Chain A
Amino acid sequence: MAAVAFENVSKTYDGKTSVVDNLNLRVREGEFLSMLGPSGSGKTTCLMMLAGFETATSGEIYLGERPISRVAPQRRNIGMVFQNYALFPHMTVAENLAFPLRVRSFSKADIAPKVKRALEMVELAHLGDRLPAQLSGGQQQRVAVARALVFDPNLVLMDEPLGALDKQLREQMQYEIKRIHDRLGLTVVYVTHDQSEALTMSDTVAIFNFGKIQQLAAPDEIYETPCNSFVAQFIGENNMFSGTVCERSEGFCKVRLANGDEINALAVTDAPVGAPTLLSLRPERMRVDPPAGDDWTITTGEVIEQIYVGDHLRVLVRVFGHHEFVVKMQNRSAGNGLTPGQKIKLGWRASDCRALDAAAGQAGAA
C-alpha cells in the first residue's frame, strides 16, 4: 500500500494555467522520493497540497487510505522541514522541540525524554537551552529536522531544506538526513532544485516540468536513460543536436543530421520515419581516438578550445559541420592536452546516443 497517493490532482491559481496538471503519483512506505524541477514546475505546490497549505482544484490526495483534501493541516500528522527552518525565534531549542508534543497535550514527564532523544539523534543534546538565533545554520537545520520528527509523523516533507547552507555543510547534511531516513524507516517527500542532492539522497526521483512529472525513476535510471529531451537537458550535461529519423530498426534508428551525415542512435522516441528528433549524448561517453567496433559511431572533429578543470579536461569540438560538442577527458597524465585547430577522431557507442522527442521542454510523455 502506498503511503501517499496523488490521484488526478490538478491545481490552478487563476483558472487558466495549471500549476499542477492531472498528476498521479504513489509514494511507497519508507521511500525517499525527491521532487526535482526548475522553479515554477509545480513541485512546491505539490508539497504544499500534501501539507495542507494549498488545496487541489480537482483530484484527491490520499495519506495511506485516507483522503485528506478536507483534513486541516494540523490534523494530518505530517512533519515538515521548511526552507528557512521556521524555528520559533522566541523559544529555546528544547521548547521548539516540545511544541508539537505540548499541543498534543503530552504530559511533561513524556515530553522531556522525547525531546532529549530527538536532540541526541541530531547530536545537539548540549544546545537545548539556546535560542535558534544563537545556533549556526547547520545546527538550526538539524533542530528543524528533529522538530519535524519528534512527534513520530506518518510522513516527513522537506522543502529545499539545505538551500541556505554552504556546499560542504550541505553535503554533510545530505548524508545525515539520509542516515536518519534509513535508521527510522521514514517516508520522505523531498523538494529540491539541486539535482546532485536529488540523485544522491533519493530512492526515487520525480522530474517536474509544466506541472507534470516528466520521469519517475531511480536516480541512476534518470541519469542514464532520460525518457525525453527535457529530462536529458535538465539532468547533468548533454550534447543535444537535432536531426530527422530516416530509418528505424530493432531498438535503433538512423538519423540524418543537418549536414547530411547519417548516424545510428538508440530509438527512445517513437517518432516515425521522416519526423524530427533531438539526439542527446553525454560528454563523458565520447572518446578521442576510439577503438574500432561495429557499434561505435566515429567521426572527425576540430578542437576549438580546451578548458582545464583539474580532474578532467573539457574540450570543445566542432563536429558534423557546425555542431559544437563538449567532450570530457580524464586528466590521466599532465600535458596530454589538445591544441585549438587540431583535427581529432571522436567516437561513441551508438547506444549512448539517444534519439528523443524533438521539442525539448514541452509537456511530453510522463
Chain B
Amino acid sequence: MMSGMIADTRPHAGELDGVKRRRVLQQYRRSQRRDCLRALALVAPLCIFLLVMFGWPLVTMLTRAVSNDDFGAVLHRTSVALAEWDGTGTPSERVYADFAADLRQAHDEQTMGQVTSALNFEWTGARSLLMRTVRPLSTEPENGWKEKLIETAPDWGNPDLWVLIKRLTQPYTSRHFLAALDLEQAVDGSIQGVGPEKAIYVTLFLRTLWVSAAVAGLCLLLGYPLATLLARLPLKTSNLLMMLVLLPFWTSLLVRTTSWIVLLQDNGVINSMLVWLGLVSEGNRLSLIFNVTGTLIAMTHVLLPFMILPLYSVMKSIPPSYVRAALSLGASPITAFWRVYLPQTIPGVLAGTLMVFVLAVGYYITPALVGGQSGQLISNIIAYHMQQSLNWGLAGALGSLLLVGVLLVYWLFNRLTGGQGLRMG
C-alpha cells in the first residue's frame, strides 16, 4: 500500500509538459552536438589521410578503367570529324586530313605515345603502322590525305581500323573491363571471347580464388588446434607461444622467402631429406617451389597469424565451464566439442577465414617471389600492367573486378554471421 501511494504521487521521469519538454530537448541536442563535433575532430586527421591516400587513388583507378580521355584529347579533330561517319566504307577525306593534322601535332608535342599504346592493345602492329605513317606527314599530298595515307599503309583503307579509332575516341569505354574478363568487342559491336591464346585473366581470377580459399582452409586446419591450445594454457605459457606465432610478422619478408627457397628447392633441405630417407628417388625430387605449391606453402605461413589471432580471442572468451557442463550432462568429449565448443567459436572461424581469404586474394609479393609461372596470382598481373606494359586502364579494370569480388565475399560473410560483422574478440 505504502509503496503504491508513493509511486503514484511521484512524477514520471519521461513525462514533461510541452514548453519544458522542448527546452530540455533543445539542451539535449546542443550537448549532443558538442560531443559529436569532438568525435569528428578526433577522427578528422585519419579521415583526411584515408581520403587522400586511399579514397582518391581508388577513384582514379576506377575512372582509368573506363576512361578514354587521353586518346580522344590527342585526336580531338579526328574525333569530331569521325562523329559524322556512319561506320560503313572508308571515312571521308576530311577525316583523313584531320587525322593527319592531329598526328602531326601529336608528333611535335611528343604525345604520340598515348595514341600508340592504346591502339596497339587493340590492333596488332599499330605501333609500327603509326611510326610509318607519321614520317611522311610533313609534306602536303597532291591528291588529298586519304590517298596518301592508304598509299603509305594499306591498313588505313580498312574500315575496321576506323571503327576502332572511332570507338577509342569515345570518352568512356568498356574495353578494359571486357579485356579483364577475356572478352572483346568485335567490329560489329557484338561482344565475343578472345582466342584461347590470349585468354589468361579468367584463369588467373579462378586460380586466385582457389588458391586463396585453399590458403584460408589450410590456415584454419593448422590454426584451429593451435588456437584451442593457446586459449587453454595459462597466460604465461600462451604469451610465449603467441610470440612464436607472431614471429613471421617480425621477420623480413625476404628472409622468410629465402628460407622457404632453401627448404623447398629441388636440392633443398626437404628434398634431400626425403631422398636420404629413401622416400623419394634421386630422379623424382618433388618440385615444391616456384609453382603453385610454393605459393600455397609460403602464403599459408605468412597468413597463419591472421587466422590464429581472431580464433584465439574468441576462444579465450569461452569459459572452460561450458565444455565441463557438457561433460557433466553426459556428453562424450567429441560431442561436447562438436555441439558446444565449436558452435561458439564460429564467429572466430568466420572472421579468421574472411581475413585470410581477403588478404590472400590481394597477395602480391609472395607469389611473385616463390610462385614461378604457375603460382602467379591476379595481383601479379595487375602489377605487371602497372609497371611493365603501362596499360593502366586494364590494371584498373582488373583491380576493380578484384575489389568487387572481395566486397561480394564480405557481403556474403555478413549474411552468414547474421549481420554481426567481423568480430575480433
Contacts and interface: CB of A to CB of B under 8 A. Distances in A.
A and B form one complex: yes
Interface residues on A, range: 20 to 34
A100 B332 CA distance: 11
Interface in B112-151: none
A86 B321 contact: yes
Contacts of B380: none
B327 A86 contact: no
A53 B324 CA distance: 8
Nearest to B340: A88
B343 interface: yes
A137 to B, nearest CB: 16
Interface in A94-150: 99-100, 103-104, 147-148
A347 B344 CA distance: 63
Interface string B314-332: 0000010110111111111
A73 interface: yes
B327 A74 contact: yes
A90 B321 CA distance: 15
A84 B325 CA distance: 11
Nearest to A147: B329
Contacts of B344: 88-90
A243 interface: no
B414 interface: no
A74 B340 contact: no
A76 B331 CA distance: 11
A103 B328 contact: no
Contacts of A100: 329-331
B335 interface: yes
Contacts of B336: 74
Interface string A175-206: 00000000000000000000000000000000
B322 A86 contact: yes
A155 B248 CA distance: 51
Contact of A86 (B325, B332, B333, B343): B325
Contacts of B327: 52-53, 72-74
Contact of A74 (B319, B321, B322, B330): B330
Contacts of A73: 324, 327-328
Nearest to A76: B328
A148 to B, nearest CB: 8
Max count, chain B CB within 10 A of own CB: residue among A73, A76, A77, A79:
A73
A51 interface: yes
A25 to B, nearest CB: 20
B328 A78 contact: yes
B330 A104 contact: yes
Max count, chain A CB within 10 A of own CB: residue among B321, B330, B339:
B330
25 contacts: A73-B324, A73-B327, A74-B328, A74-B329, A74-B333, A77-B330, A79-B328, A79-B329, A80-B325, A82-B321, A82-B324, A83-B321, A84-B319, A84-B321, A86-B319, A86-B321, A88-B325, A90-B344, A99-B329, A100-B329, A100-B331, A103-B329, A104-B330, A148-B328, A151-B330
Interface of A: 51-53, 72-80, 82-84, 86, 88-90, 99-100, 103-104, 147-148, 151, 157
8 shortest A-B CB distances, which residue pairs?
A86-B325, A100-B329, A80-B328, A86-B321, A73-B327, A103-B331, A82-B321, A90-B343
Given A99-B326, A148-B329, 17 more contacts: A51-B324, A52-B327, A74-B328, A74-B332, A74-B336, A78-B328, A79-B328, A80-B328, A82-B324, A84-B319, A84-B321, A86-B322, A88-B322, A88-B326, A103-B329, A103-B330, A103-B331
